[in-house]
Amino acid sequence: MNEITPGNVHLFLKRFRLKGGWLVRFTVRSRPEAATAEIRLRVHDAEANAQVRLRLVFDGVEEYRFQRRPGPGLVRLKDVQLAFFGPLVYLNLDAFPEDGPPKVMDFRASDCFLAGRSLRWEVVAKKPAG
């Protein structure tokens, strides 16, 4: 798996068009040493010029919220933000467009965000039919 760092986050966001993608699944697991989370998305990959399944894995999860409010649930991603604050990487899957760079409170006010010590990704191959 590839790690997302402050040095390569721009290349990751340039390659994968997260806005307009689809949330397929999310899982959070608590373990005695640290919580982990996995998010599966279907997004456009500019490198392959195709829709791909993207697997994001957070290690050392310290904050998260996946809250469903009345009305349509979050499936289609309207706007996505990814940022580093201190030792944590934050991912917001229902961000509101804001002027200026995102702030920690923008993520914490979201209904769908995660923050962890590290974030890794991989493109998941489709399973063969049969």
**In the prediction, which pLDDT does 9 show?**
93
Buried b (16+ CB within 10 A) or exposed e, 26-44: beeeeeeeebbbebebebb
Is residue 18 within 8 A of residue 29, CB to CB? The reply is no
Task: Report pLDDT digits (tens) over 4-15.
Answer: 999 999 999 999
pLDDT at 101: 77
Which pTM was predicted? 0.86
Whether the Cβ atoms of residue 71 and residue 54 lie closer than 8 Å to each other: no
pLDDT digit string, tens, across residues 48-104: 999 999 999 999 999 988 887 666 666 788 888 899 999 999 999 887 766 677 788
